[in-house]
Amino acid sequence: MTTRPALSFVQKSTLTVFGILVATGFLASLAQTAMAQTPTSSQPTDIFQDQDRNDPFSSRSSNQAGSMLDIVNRAILGPTRSPQEFNQDQKESLDDAANQFRNLQQQRLRNQQTEAPVTTQPSGGVR
């Protein structure tokens, strides 16, 4: 059985320095990539002030149909109705439900009345 000798202090220091250099190089390359992808405007907030930007997610764009969020919101909500139309539909729906309930109640009452009540006559018990 052979055992591995422990790393010396110099070897450990060398590995640590090498690891730090590799990590620093990796972070530097990521920073350069990130810098290459930033917009060319002088101020980062300039992109929010640009009125000519055709942004589908913004209501400031030249899109006549509105922003993309407006389109999605309208698709979710469905056709728009005025509050008066909504109240009228609710009232009609409530009236229909009440009429159905009354009809069902009357039908059940009629069925109970037409059924002859079952009467039991006392039987003359065994003597």
User: In this model, does residue 62 exceed pLDDT 60?
Assistant: no
Contacts of 12 (CB under 8 A, 6+ apart): none
Contacts of 65 (CB under 8 A, 6+ apart): 71
Between CA 97 and CA 92 the distance in angstroms is 9
Residue 4's pLDDT is 60
Per-position b or e across 50-80, b if 16+ CB within 10 A of its CB: eeeeeeeeeeebeeeeebeeeeeeeeeeeee
DSSP 89: H
Mean pLDDT computed over every residue of the chain: 75
| First-to-last C-alpha distance (Å) of the chain | 108
User: In this model, does residue 103 exceed pLDDT 90?
Assistant: yes
| Average of per-residue pLDDT across 20-27 | 90
pLDDT-based confidence at residue 104 (cuts at 50, 70, 90): very high
| Average of per-residue pLDDT across 43-72 | 62
